[in-house]
Every structure is written in structure tokens, then in C-alpha cells.
Amino acid sequence: SRSAADRVDLGNVGSASGRAQAAFQAAQSQIGKPYVYGATGTASYDCSGLTSWAYAQAGVSIPRTSQAQANAGVHLSMSELKVGDLVIFYDDLHHVGLYAGNGQVLHAPRTGAVVRYESINNMPFQFGVRI
């Protein structure tokens, strides 16, 4: 919902590109949708289902899995992240979200949760990926 989005301070870091901004805005429109493993939208998503769907709305095809998305672009440190960049978590690269600004990630977290913002520090950050 818009009201939930408004309660999160995303700062003003700017987006990585026009397509990253478009992908991020698409993902924002899915806040509150349930996580379902293997789902690619629009009723529900898993983590990489959300990111691949969001980039598809921006006219950009990226791989389906978080591990493949991890190798789909240039790797970034946390300080280099801009809105719409992919953010890869865990040693085995099994989780991905979109950087939302101000230390927040927009992602489909896990079974029983919904698409939402969360602190980037709640999960073990590996690197960002610029698409």
C-alpha cells in the first residue's frame, strides 16, 4: 500500500539508471503481495521472481534465479548502491532484493511474509549488482 511505503524513509540517493528506477517503481507496486517459492507474479513472488518481474516491466530481461542474477552485471560494494540495483545476500547467493535507498531493501523475504522493505543489515550482504 502507498501508506506503508510512505512510512519508510528511502532518502534521496538516486537511481542507478532509468531502467533501474522503472524496475524499482514496478516492484513498489507489488508491496504486500505474498511470498510463494517459485512464483513470478503478479499474485505472488519469490525473491528472484520479484526482481526478474520488476526488470521485465522496465523492458530488461535478467536471469530467473538469484545465483544467475548475481552474475548479470557489475558487482558493487554497499557504498556504491543506488536505487534499483540488485542486492545479493548469503554466502550461497540464495537471496536477492532491490536497493531502495537509505539502507533499505525492497524484497520478497520468505514463506509467510509479504513483499516489503527491510534493513539491508538484517541479512548477510554479499554485493550489489548493477543491471
The single residue of 22, 23, 47, 129 carrying the catalytic annotation is 47
How much is the pLDDT for 6? 53
Based on the residue annotation, tell me whether 47 is a catalytic residue of this protein. Answer: yes
**Distance between CA 83 and CA 29 in Å, rounded?**
15
* Per-residue pLDDT tens digits for 19-42: 999 999 999 999 999 999 999 999
| Secondary structure (3-state) at 28 | helix
The verdict on pTM exceeding 0.85 is: yes
Here the cell at position 88 is 545479493
> Which secondary structure element, helix H or strand E, spans residue 127, and what is its range?
strand 125-130
Which range marks the domain in which residue 100 is found?
A: 2-130
Task: Specify the amino acid at residue 49.
Answer: G
Q: Name the domain count of the chain.
A: 1
Here the cell at position 17 is 539508471
Q: Strand (E) positions, 40-120?
A: 74-76, 86-89, 95-101, 104-107, 116-119
Strand partners, 15: 83
The single residue of 95, 104, 105, 108 carrying the catalytic annotation is 95
How much is the pLDDT for 12? 87
* Per-residue pLDDT tens digits for 80-99: 999 999 999 999 999 999 99
* Per-residue pLDDT tens digits for 94-126: 999 999 999 999 999 999 999 999 999 999 999
The single residue of 33, 82, 107, 116 carrying the catalytic annotation is 107
Q: What is the CATH number of the domain that holds 109?
A: 3.90.1720.10
How much is the pLDDT for 14? 87
* Per-residue pLDDT tens digits for 45-86: 999 999 999 999 999 999 999 999 999 999 999 999 999 999
How much is the pLDDT for 1? 41
